[in-house]
Structure 1
């Protein structure tokens, strides 16, 4: 068992605060791109944001999901508080490809979970979130209404 920087109840308290603000803003899910906010929500601690990674927070009371490069998912299993099923790695063959993007896979994963409709908040001011990543994510979620969720967590 890992030793978390905070107890699970603290992470749940943080999620309750985030979900209250999501509800106030009318968001069904939140896609967290800011690496500091990812750590705040999950405890995930890894220098892996050189490639796209996100934490998805659904409005309903389920655990968040960390999604990143498959080889970095092992770090999630060691540092994040969620169940192993909620640490998801995208395929390695998506890394550094001019013809494919990890956000295409992430959008497809969101769709398979049934979360691709409704209002989706995305942190558009996150330092490591590129315009290309955003374009691929939006293109992969054509039935969603995308909203800027900047400062929802780190206000």
Structure 2
């Protein structure tokens, strides 16, 4: 699955949940609280593959899944840059975390970053439309050789 495929599929899942909640009269605070991992794993099993095994993507007590991905993540399925036969496909705009390499593909590793899963960050960046928050993630940068 490409970054773009995941991004678009996730946006649809997110939109459907938010639509359901707003139709029930949920406000911003109730919506963000609904996206708490413990609630989501019970009520929205199809939202995340990890929910099947009741597993969190990050080992923190209170994990909020509203953003799931980070608005500081940048990707281009054609590559962001190329160096020594390796193509960089994703990066962090804040230059946090690390990269991992698989064959000649380099990807950003967000494993140790908790920014998008903290409730205060979710509240600060909140928008009912997930794609609005994530609007800068997919870049149109051309591969630099």
- TM-score of the pair, normalised by structure 1: 0.30
Larger radius of gyration: 2
TM-score by length of 2: 0.32
